[in-house]
Amino acid sequence: MVLETDQERTEHFNRMSLKFSEFYKGKTMVIPKVPINNLGSFSYWYTPGIAAVSTHISKDIESSFELTGRWNSVAILTDGTRVLGLGNVGPEAAMAVMEGKALIFNYLGGVNAVPIPIRTKTKEEFITVARALEPSFGGYNLEDIESPKCFFILEQLQKDLSIPAWHDDQLGTASIILAGLINALRVVGKKIEDSRIVLFGSGAANIAAAHLLMAAGFKASNLIIADSKGILHPEREDMDTLMLNNPWKYKLAMLTNGERREGPSEESFQGADVIISAARPGPDTIKPEWIKNMNSDPIIFALANPVPEIWPNVAKEAGARVIATGRGDFPNQINNSLIFPGVFRGVLDARSRGVNFKIMVKASYEIANFVKDPSEDRIVPTMENWELYPQVASAVARATVDEGLARRNNSTEGFYKIAREIIEENRKAYRKLVDGDIIKKLPEMD
């Protein structure tokens, strides 16, 4: 089958996803990881022997990370209010995406991730559920929660919990944006401290990206945020509302846009070096003529899913030098899958209590530096570069030690050995399931 247009290819992937999902009825499963030889095995895996494990943990809560699977378990929590580019589709519909996330966690990071869509209406209800589930997990991956609710939830959970809370739409997207941007600037020969960056769209991803870019050395005065109401600046008419309802965005209005530029969002392109777009999906969201107003060798990250804000070939014709999207069927996929499996492998191996921007900057540089000779069509690795994940994990694990967040101490090399072994063993087990036809082959497409 020859798929001639970007839209035809997108529709083909949609049909495949529906057919395969109906065939497999879920992407992950839970199976025992211990030997069960006979009835006597249950005497120590369950009753009566297991009472000794419970008694031990009741006297030393931290030992739950050593005596149970908590050390390698992550909950993927969502309320389904902001799923991909689809919006509020509800927790049941969100399950399909969360299962995909769990699949990637396990395959690339060796992490046991459990998808848990929850039916909550308020941020307070969500936080209550998350607090209640904490004893079961070594970390939380928050996913697909509408803005600004997601900011409140993440901030509160990071204060309340003794395990890492990570919102992938904020922190994961920001980290891989930074990794890609580091190499894109290397390709065009521009410096971090001199580059003018436009964050086109002001949802969870770009607000987090703005904070991470500043933590990485980008000047706040060189950042401009633009949304459906235009360029963000301190005198914009909605500042009082933002101060009450979205203090994170309000803070950025005060910190960024050193020139105090005003006007509609398209005017932010004038004189920009980089556009990082996390805006409305659709190939006409960014106009080619806007790109022509940018500085020489412009960089365009069009990250909306499932359809980018401008098709890459159109951006290239308009003069863009480096173009990235969120899709794997184009070069330069800026996708969270390159960051979260390694990050969680690292925080779990270190038994970390949290994660912060310093750790994320280190993870981003680890990803960027993995690409030895970045080019216009290769600024980030791909998910096939599985060696990336233990490297990110070891850098993250060591960074949690340096930040005083780790329960376990080790060198970068020691953490690398741990991560590599876990990921390799997990991949071997999966391969045996496939080779033994225990995992069924893909069905034929009609």
Which residues does 121 contact at the CB level (< 8 Å), separation at least 6? none
- Phi/psi of residue 198, each to 5°? -110, 125
The residue annotated as part of the active site, out of 46, 229, 292, 432, is 46
Q: Which of 352, 343, 340, 348 is nearest to 395 (CA)?
A: 343
Surface-to-core class of residue 290, CB atoms within 10 Å of its CB (0-12 exposed, 13-18 middle, 19+ buried)? buried
* Share in percent of the chain as helix, strand, coil (round to 5): 50, 10, 40
The CA R_g of the chain, rounded to the nearest whole Å, is: 22
**Contact indicator for 278, 304 with CB cutoff of 8 Å:** yes
Question: Which member of 24, 44, 101, 191 is catalytic?
Answer: 101
Place of tokens 């497409």: 445
Is residue 101 flagged as an active site residue?
A: yes
Contacts 24+ apart (CB under 8 A), 23-31: 23/440, 23/442, 23/443, 24/440, 26/99, 27/99, 27/100, 27/102, 27/103, 28/99, 28/102, 28/103, 28/106, 28/113, 28/115
Q: Could you confirm whether 19 is annotated as catalytic?
A: no
What six digits make up the tokens of 206?
């770009």
List active site positions.
46, 101
